[in-house]
Amino acid sequence: MNEPVVVRNVEQPPFEVVAALEKCGVTTVHEAQGRCGLLACYMRPVFSGSTIAGSAVTVSLPPGDNLMIHVAVEVCHAGNILVVAPTSPCAHGYFGELLATSLRAHGVKGLVIDAGCRDTRALTEMRFPVWSRAISSQGTVKGTLGSVNVPVVCAGALVEAGDVIVADDDGVVVVRRAVAREVAATAEQRVRKENATRERLARGELGLDIYSLRKKITELGLKYI
């Protein structure tokens, strides 16, 4: 049970859907899919200012051992995002500049890892985006197998290979491949609506009026004194 496997062929989400989700960003996508799929908020970007979306290549690996990241590189495609989850909590620096160089050479857009990363200055300079739970120079060995492209729980969220990952300064969200198109459409609609609302708010209109909340607060019994 739980034999180590690498699943080679993963159905990819449509390119234009991924592009649309990337444009909307984490918070809007999270709302658009009914407030689910958010990774724990301890996942923080190594440097700020990046927004990426891509199809997940998942890696399940043991604590303190990054052999399977090397295995995963070979099955990555351009546009993928690597999602790495240790089988038990571990803040070691699994990932650094050399692996980032390798992933970039294969077109991978970024890394989401529920563990530590290192070489943060180099990662920042080369603008390879990483979301991690810790920064740690404490390295790993290359001695034990895990699996690639099996379902993983990463920072509290279930991620399957081919799901869409969206990550930015607000955090990381996963969108099931099956609903990605629908979520992207809802998210884009939401962006349009928010643009209109923003203009009204910038003019000084109140949310109380825009969202028709005055009747509600009166019914609930709010008193002004």
CA distance 197 to 192: 9
* 22 to 61: interface string for its own copies, x by CB under 8 A: ---xxx--xx-xxxx-x-xx--x---xx-x----------
Q: Any contact of residue 89 with its own copies (CB under 8 A)?
A: yes
Alpha carbon of residue 187 to chain centroid: 16
Place of tokens 């908020």: 41
CB-wise, 19 or 36, nearer to its own copies? 36
Q: Any contact of residue 12 with its own copies (CB under 8 A)?
A: no
CB-wise, 16 or 214, nearer to its own copies? 214
Among 53, 57, 73, 161, binds its own copies (CB under 8 A): 73
164, 56 in Cβ contact below 8 A? yes
154, 83 in Cβ contact below 8 A? yes
Q: Any contact of residue 177 with its own copies (CB under 8 A)?
A: no
Q: Any contact of residue 78 with its own copies (CB under 8 A)?
A: no
What is the three-class DSSP state of 134?
A: strand
Number of residues that bind its own copies (CB under 8 A): 97
Q: Any contact of residue 157 with its own copies (CB under 8 A)?
A: yes
**How far from each other are the two terminal CA atoms of the chain, in whole angstroms?**
66
DSSP code at position 40: P
CB-wise, 49 or 192, nearer to its own copies? 49
Q: Is 45 exposed, middle or buried (0-12, 13-18, 19+ CB in 10 A)?
A: buried
Among 11, 78, 204, 215, binds its own copies (CB under 8 A): 204
184 to 203, contacts with its own copies by CB under 8 A? Answer: 194, 197-198, 201-203
CA distance 166 to 163: 10
- Minimal distance, residue 30 CB to its own copies, in Å: 5
97 to 156, contacts with its own copies by CB under 8 A? Answer: 97-99, 101-102, 104-106, 116, 118-121, 124, 134-139, 142-145, 151, 153, 156
173, 35 in Cβ contact below 8 A? no
